[in-house]
Amino acid sequence: MRYISRLDRGRRIKNATVPSMATIRKKIWPEYFEAVASGKKKYELRLNDFDVQEGDMLILEEWNPQTKEYTGRTTEKKVAYVGKFRIDKLFWPEEEIKEKGIQIISLE
């Protein structure tokens, strides 16, 4: 549920709590597009610079970083889970993260 304004029978109801779903468009590089589109890759690692919630639709548009153009291919996926974290508040020391990196494991 999101706390939003909406119209009800032509009247504006401010700050009503209603179920809502956002459609979010994001670029995705070719090497990741195919794995997401086929269903093999079931996660997205993204900078937390936009609002996304469970139930939203994520439209991923293939982007070629060499030509700096969209390829025209898109895939639409429903957001099932959103986990957010800050690099300085993880389970591991920041030095270890910088040295070894982080891996994301997709589960079935």
- Measure the CA–CA gap between 26 and 76, rounded to whole angstroms: 10
- Measure the CA–CA gap between 67 and 6, rounded to whole angstroms: 41
What's the pTM? 0.73
pLDDT at 85 over 80: yes
Strand residue runs (E) in the chain: 2-8, 11-18, 23-28, 57-64, 69-78
Would you say residue 69 lies in a domain? yes
Would you say residue 95 lies in a domain? yes
Would you say residue 89 lies in a domain? yes
Q: Which domain holds residue 64?
A: 23-100
The values of phi and psi at residue 65, to 5°, are: -70, -20
Q: Closest Cα to residue 33, out of 70, 78, 81, 84?
A: 70
What does the pLDDT read at residue 17?
Answer: 52
The values of phi and psi at residue 98, to 5°, are: -65, -35
Domain CATH number, residue 55: 2.30.130.30
- Measure the CA–CA gap between 93 and 9, rounded to whole angstroms: 54
Give the pLDDT confidence of 24-65 residue by residue, as tens digits. 999 999 999 999 999 999 999 999 999 999 999 999 999 999
What does the pLDDT read at residue 23?
Answer: 94
